[in-house]
Chains A and B, each alone.
Chain A
Amino acid sequence: MALAQTLAVETRGLTKRYSTGVLAVNNLDLRVRAGEVYGFLGPNGAGKTTTLRLLSGLLHPTSGTAVVAGAAPGSPASLARMGAMVETPAFYPYLSGRDNLRVVARYASVPKSRIEPVLKLVDLTDRARHKFKTYSTGMKQRLGVAAALLKAPDLLILDEPTSGLDPQGTIEMRALIKELKQGGRTVLLSSHLLNEVELTCDRVGVIAKGQLVAEGTVDELRARSGGSALLIRATPLDQARRLVEALVKPEQVRVEGETLLLSVDPSQAASINRRLVSDGVDVSELRVSEQSLEAVFLELTETSQK
């Protein structure tokens, strides 16, 4: 059953300062809508895992409030409706995959009939009788997802779900996440992998130094950081640059290798091309260049560091 309220996760001024003095999460206001796949993006050490621990009730906040799946983080009411895999999948090494899920099912008061379907969903049925300590990284990740799914949760929190997976495993995990979204389930996943977020998430929140520095769809974030640009490959490049700088503001022009990148409206392409050609510049390429999410990410996180 999908969450009745519009927001699956809402935090207000959530702050966590560790006893060591490190401020890991700083006044975070986060809103994850019910039914969406929300990507929590940030460089290592930005505060992603600390935030997810706070949302799971593993950490006590220094200040601020949070509502997760309609209740306070860590409360039985909240935990009953959420499944989570925080940081690394942690299980009992001396137990088999199936027995580990039996333990988790007992804690969660979930009937053991749920175990086989989730094992099948993550494709671990064949190895379920083997001990957890013999599992590969990918199998451990999949068992972590299976445990998170035992409760058939409305909200699924996954921390770096493709961490340590090989390319095939990564593709399978992404497909699984997309499958999990079906039926109105909310997925909050953290990652430092931009490509992963771009491929799986409806909306993205970028965190740096414990603060949310941007939020929106991938396209919105791109647009916010200047959006698309015009790429021009021309000879001679210096002459082309001088001509272009006469047409647009000089700060909108930057040289990248053998090309010029112009942060201007792509509709100006025809007039710029006309001017370059009429002044004897050979234009071998002129196209709209989408700014990569990497560039957006770097710009957003670097700005916040300054």
Chain B
Amino acid sequence: MIASFRAENLKTRKRWANWILIGILLAWILLLTYLTLFLVVTLSPKSIQGPVPASVLKRRLFPENFVPTVLSAAGTIGAAIMLIFGALSTASEFGWLTVQTILIQKPTRVAVMFGKYLAVAAATLLISILVFGAAALASFAAVTFDGSSSSWPAWEVILKGFGALLLQLTIWAAFGAFLGIAFHSTAAAIGGGLTYLFVGEALLGGLLRNTPIVKDVLRFLPGINGDAINAAFPLTIRDSAGQTQLVGAGRGVITLLVYLVVFTVLSLLIFQRRDVGGG
């Protein structure tokens, strides 16, 4: 398994597409979340400002709120990026037929599979650190430029927040990897995954959130459970009416961990049994 992990690591590191995905996620956090909001709040004339004063809105970007802000910003976009990353890591092997090059080396299919998942997990850890670090730096820059003062959250909150981000990004990467193995096609895995994410969970889930039957289904979906975890890290300001969560944070963590196990086991079963090539 270590040999497979080392091989996967080399491939992951040298693949430009992966660095581009990380770049997009960081750009989203730094440019769109922090810089754009900071400029809009700072530069917009008072006449067009909303009911919440700019000085309050701005606090969202300060260190005291960097944990909920990064969790919110990395929510859907982070999920999409990680889903693509996971799908690329597995489905490309079938597209290029490199899966057969791998399988005719020494490791077993189980070792190949776990090596691949370990490499995806290691990359997700790195991405989480980069995203969390970038958000912390951006919040520090925001408060410094503004000349205001803000305190950092407690270490415990920072660690829990990092864990929440890592767990959610890992789930979506695992989901993408699972779809890649199930569909054997990069386009199908990414297309199917993003359709589920944006149309299934975000759009339909949002619109039908208060429908009793749908609500019962939504309680089991990864996005809803991720939102519930994020809600456990409230902002120090109240800029809009918060949404009622369908499940608690604790149940959210357990549900996501169950998803992680399910995606991994299903991927392994499919990968272990399926013929490679021919037919």
Which residues of B have CB within 8 Å of A99?
10, 14
Inter-chain contact A103/B10, CB cutoff 8 Å: yes
Give complex CA distance A80, B11 in Å: 22
Which residues of A have CB within 8 Å of B104?
56-58, 79, 82-84, 86
A79-101 interface bits toward B, Cβ cutoff 8 Å, 1 = contact, 0 = none: 11011101111111111000100
Whether A104 touches B278, Cβ cut-off 8 Å, given contacts A90-B98, A91-B96, A91-B98, is no
The answer to the question of A20 belonging to the interface, with a C-beta cut-off of 8 Å to chain B, is: yes
The answer to the question of B106 belonging to the interface, with a C-beta cut-off of 8 Å to chain A, is: yes
The answer to the question of B103 belonging to the interface, with a C-beta cut-off of 8 Å to chain A, is: yes
Give complex CA distance A107, B96 in Å: 17
Which residues of B have CB within 8 Å of A50?
278
Would you give the shortest CB distance from A71 to chain B, in whole angstroms? 12
B193-225 interface bits toward A, Cβ cutoff 8 Å, 1 = contact, 0 = none: 000000000000000000000000000000000
Looking at chain B's contact residues, the main secondary structure is: helix
Q: Which residue of A lies closest to B102 (CB)?
A: A107
Which residues of B have CB within 8 Å of A161?
none
Whether A87 touches B106, Cβ cut-off 8 Å, given contacts A106-B6, A147-B101, is no
Which residues of B have CB within 8 Å of A87?
97, 100, 277
The answer to the question of A22 belonging to the interface, with a C-beta cut-off of 8 Å to chain B, is: yes
- Residues of B in contact, count (CB < 8 Å): 29
The answer to the question of A59 belonging to the interface, with a C-beta cut-off of 8 Å to chain B, is: yes
The answer to the question of A109 belonging to the interface, with a C-beta cut-off of 8 Å to chain B, is: yes
The answer to the question of A76 belonging to the interface, with a C-beta cut-off of 8 Å to chain B, is: yes
Which residues of B have CB within 8 Å of A60?
273, 275
- Residues of A in contact, count (CB < 8 Å): 41
Would you give the shortest CB distance from B84 to chain A, in whole angstroms? 16
Which residues of B have CB within 8 Å of A57?
103-104
Q: Which residues of B contact A (CB under 8 A)?
A: 3-4, 6-7, 10-11, 14-17, 96-98, 100-108, 112, 273, 275-279
Lowest 8 CB-CB distances: which A-B pairs, in order?
A106-B7, A90-B97, A107-B105, A18-B279, A108-B105, A58-B276, A59-B275, A107-B7
Q: Which residues of A contact B (CB under 8 A)?
A: 16, 18-20, 22, 24, 49-50, 53, 56-60, 74, 76, 79-80, 82-84, 86-95, 99, 102-104, 106-109, 147, 151
Q: List 25 A-B contacts (CB under 8 A).
A: A19-B279, A53-B100, A53-B275, A56-B103, A57-B103, A58-B103, A58-B278, A59-B278, A60-B273, A74-B103, A79-B104, A83-B104, A86-B104, A87-B97, A87-B277, A92-B11, A93-B96, A94-B14, A94-B17, A104-B7, A106-B3, A106-B4, A107-B7, A108-B3, A147-B101
